Amino acid sequence: MTSTPALILNVNDDVASRYVTSRVLGLAGFRVVDAGSGHEALALASEETDLVILDVRLPDISGLEVCQRLKSTPRTQGVLVLHLSAQAVGPGDRAQGLEHGADGYLMAPVDPEELVAQVHALLRLRQAEREVRELSREVARQQKLLELAISSAADPIVLYDETGRVLSANQALYTSRGSRAVHAPGKTLNGMLAEDASLGPYLELVRVALRTGKVQRGTVALESDRGLRHFDVVLSPTVDANGQVLAVMSSMSDVTVARSAEEFREQFIGMLGHDLRNPLNALSMSAQQLRRKGGLDERQGMLTERILTSADRMDRMIRQLLDFARSRLGGGIPVVRAPGDVFDVVRRTVEELRASHPGRVVLLESRGDGEGKWDSDRLEQAVGNLVGNALKYSPSESAVWVGAEGFEREVVLRIHNHGSPIPPEDLPHVFGAWRRGRRLASDVGAPSGLGLGLYITRQIVRAHDGDAQVASSATDGTTFLIRLPR
């Protein structure tokens, strides 16, 4: 598809000069319209006109005035004007023409090639100006859409520049905090902190995002007209090709209601677990006294043992509930460290599980030493959870392997079994609360746990500044790995 040739209005009262100029431009491929006076030029010029070649000395009105009128009229203000004069040829004439709005000034007679080259140059300028205007309109449109999207967003949004100065904040922010909102455009981080000290943890996240250029996430508590509110915060920096932060967008979600419900649930679980301890202890002690007293027939003895077994299982569940509540409400499971050997903890745990699973093979290999400062009771609980799970979720004829290896700066524990692999979609959630593994077809009876064992295990490991991981596949089996820094 070919583009339409540019339309040029050639204005000159000298017929011969006008003819020569129009002839040169026509041969160069342009569309040319002639005018012999200033008024005729103003009448013929339109938004379709690309360029006006305008003589300065016209019989009715000055070419300078014609140029001014063209440039000040909305219909023709985008038209290019090239003065071409044989009389007004002094430096002052040229300067005056350009000051009145002309885009170029040539003195006649002019070489045809120079004239065509000058016209092409001006038309390229006009095309560039059109593209810039179109791009500016598109940028303005997109900016308007972005401003509308941010302003109408349901969650609070704030935009900061590279120095941390507030560029904009949407209405949802002011609604969520009421009179406590201090995020006015132009405010600095230090200025806002001076007005509202509760912003300290949030503003520190903003500083980290500005300094590192990395996304920051967190939960902050901020005062509002409705009291203390809790917000989940995501800070997303925008960086250039050199990694320099250009801006940071903050989005917040009010999670006060959900957090209150979660805290109530966890407090309730903690109180329930605590209050269940007393009747359970009474039940267990009564059953133990019956067993010690003796004189029970076979059925009575069997029922007494069943009571004791069930009481032990309930006691484990209650301890898990209390550990869970502590970890969620108290910032983690508390540990009391003391010098010790974690290898001894692993050996005791394996021996106890061998005794309680006489038909199973549990292999133990150790290398190096396990000396360090540990909470031995808590680590025994964690290792017991992992080895117990390995026995529960693997075939009875297979062996469970436990490895302990001491390095200079850490101790690594591995627990491996050849049971059915953990499905890939479940792997990221293995250490979550209230999750149980998928039982084998050979398992019978109701599940024996609450699905808190692995969650508590990771919390115990994290309380030792370590980490717990899992890998599972059909070919390699399942391996839980614990890293404990010394």
pLDDT score at 129: 82
Burial (Cβ within 10 Å: 0-12, 13-18, ≥19) of residue 8? buried
Q: What are the backbone dihedrals phi and psi of residue 20, each rounded to the nearest 5 degrees, phi first?
A: -60, -45
- What is the pLDDT confidence band of residue 443, given thresholds at 50, 70 and 90? very low
Do 459 and 333 meet the contact criterion of CB atoms below 8 Å apart? yes
**Non-local CB neighbours of 471 within 8 Å, separated by 6+ positions:** 478, 479, 481
CATH number 1.10.287.130 given to 259-329: yes
pLDDT score at 173: 86
Would you say residue 414 has pLDDT above 60?
Answer: yes
Q: In whole angstroms, what is the distance from residue 15 CA to residue 35 CA?
A: 10
pLDDT score at 469: 94
Q: What are the backbone dihedrals phi and psi of residue 133, each rounded to the nearest 5 degrees, phi first?
A: -65, -40
Q: Domains of the chain: which residue ranges?
A: 7-133, 153-254, 259-329, 338-485
Mean pLDDT confidence for 336-362: 91
Do 415 and 390 meet the contact criterion of CB atoms below 8 Å apart? yes
pLDDT score at 262: 62
Mean pLDDT confidence for 352-376: 92
pLDDT score at 142: 82
Side chain identity at residue 245, one-letter code: V
HEC letters along 191-240: HHHHHCHHHHHHHHHHHHHHHHCCCEEEEEEEEECCEEEEEEEEEEEEEC
Q: What percent of the chain has pLDDT over 70?
A: 87
pLDDT score at 43: 93
Q: Which two tokens stand for residue 124?
A: 């390229």
Q: In whole angstroms, what is the distance from residue 435 CA to residue 416 CA?
A: 20
Q: Which two tokens stand for residue 128?
A: 């560039």
Q: Give pTM, 2 decimals.
A: 0.42
| CATH number listed for the domain at residues 7-133 | 3.40.50.2300
Q: Which of 67-71, 146-150, 174-178, 220-224 has the highest average model confidence (pLDDT)?
A: 67-71
Q: Which two tokens stand for residue 415?
A: 């627990």
Element (H, E) at 322: helix 298-329
- Using the 8-state DSSP alphabet, how is residue 179 labeled? G
Mean pLDDT confidence for 103-110: 85
Q: In whole angstroms, what is the distance from residue 409 CA to residue 315 CA?
A: 36
pLDDT in tens, 122-139: 988 888 888 888 888 888
For domain 153-254, give its CATH number from 3.30.1360.20, 3.40.50.880, 3.50.50.60, 3.30.450.20.
3.30.450.20
- What is the pLDDT confidence band of residue 320, given thresholds at 50, 70 and 90? low
pLDDT in tens, 241-262: 888 999 999 999 888 776 666 6
State the CB neighbour count (10 A cutoff) for residue 18: 19
- Using the 8-state DSSP alphabet, how is residue 291 labeled? H
Q: In whole angstroms, what is the distance from residue 316 CA to residue 453 CA?
A: 10
- What is the pLDDT confidence band of residue 327, given thresholds at 50, 70 and 90? low
pLDDT score at 19: 92
pLDDT score at 9: 95
Q: Which residue has the higher pLDDT, 291 or 42?
A: 42
Helix/strand/coil percentages in the chain, nearest 5: 45, 25, 30
* CATH architecture assigned to 338-485: 2-Layer Sandwich (3.30)
Mean pLDDT confidence for 427-432: 85
β-sheet with 51-54: strand ranges across: 31-35, 7-11, 51-54, 80-85, 104-107
